[in-house]
A = this chain, B = another copy of it.
Amino acid sequence: MAPGQGFGIDEVVAQLRDLRNQSLQSRRRSGRPPKLPSRVALREIIDGLAAAMFPNRLGRPDLTVEGIDHFVGHTLDVALRSLNEQLGRELLFASNLDSLSEQDAARALAITREFAATLPRIRQLLDTDILAAYQGDPAARSMDEVLVCYPGIAAITHYRLAHVLYRQGVPLTARMIAELAHSLTGIDIHPGADIGERFFIDHGTGVVIGETAVIGRNVRLYQAVTLGAKRFPAGEDGALAKGDARHPIVEDDVVIYAGATVLGRVTIGHGSTIGGNVWLTRSVPPGSNVSQAQALTDAVIGVAGS
């Protein structure tokens, strides 16, 4: 390209600078532009933690009995130090200070340490989830296959890690981890949800589980199930709703088939089965068997051309 025939970059840079400064002002962050946790770093952290929990299957295929604990220890060390740094960014961002306070640095360290201590418990929970998947899917041939193949297990792994962080008071990091799973699997579990052991999601694309949902033990979901909030009335001030319990409670041993939608703070009693595509906005007692009204299954069949 000859001189003078460029892309007009200088002008674009100047305009973007003005917009950036206006935006920082409007967000009251002039001079303190946000430095958020890094998606790429969180991706590596989660992969590292998963590899540490399941080193043979998700770590390296060449691990030996002798080397495996060194791999686990080193992988944890790298992942936890990086997590500690990302948590520092979240706390700095939340503090609105110019640099990380000593107090927040100590808090990031305390959270990381406490989080590390929960990893064995998370591995135990995930073992129950894997077992549930193996027992719940006639196509599953082994628990090992379940761990490496099933997107539901990937999503639950992200969820169980993110949920601990959410509870520890770092919701932004937790949410970013949840979105990593969402992008990979199409399964969108808010890290605030509370989910018991032996949880299984089959296929999974389109599943949405809201922030205040509560799910018991041994629950099974299929693709496109929504456990959501009811619509917010027009004109409502959204801020008021924050933190309200607005998503369903699903008790133990419930199965919810594909495409079912359950909205609002309703309770699905234990042992219930919710049929495919059901739309449910009220509570049902234990042992319920909910299916679509007949009208919905009466498809109208005509012969083409008739």
Contact = CB atoms under 8 A, between A and B. Distances in A.
Contacts of A2: 31, 98
Contact of A112 (B7, B63, B238): B7
Interface string A41-79: 000000000001111110001111111111111111110
Number of copies: 6
Interface string A202-245: 01011010010000000000011010110110100011011010
A168 interface: no
B226 A119 contact: no
Contacts of A39: 148
Given A139-B242, A280-B299, A182 B205 contact: yes
A66 B9 contact: yes
A165 B120 CA distance: 36
Main secondary structure of the interface of A (DSSP, over half): mixed
A289 interface: yes
Nearest to A53: B16
A186 to B, nearest CB: 5
A261 interface: yes
Nearest to A274: B299
A38 interface: yes
Nearest to A70: B73
A161 interface: no
A9 B67 contact: yes
Given A7-B77, A206-B224, A291-B300, A19 B183 contact: no
Interface in A108-126: 109, 112-113, 116-117, 119-120, 123-124
A53 to B, nearest CB: 6
Given A8-B113, A205-B182, A296 B297 contact: no
Nearest to A190: B139
Contacts of A129: none
A177 to B, nearest CB: 10
A196 interface: no
A40 B240 CA distance: 44
19 contacts: A1-B66, A2-B98, A5-B109, A7-B77, A9-B116, A16-B72, A16-B120, A20-B54, A27-B142, A34-B144, A35-B61, A67-B77, A67-B78, A71-B77, A141-B172, A208-B258, A231-B275, A234-B273, A292-B300
A1 B77 CA distance: 13
Contact of A296 (B81, B172, B242, B279): B279
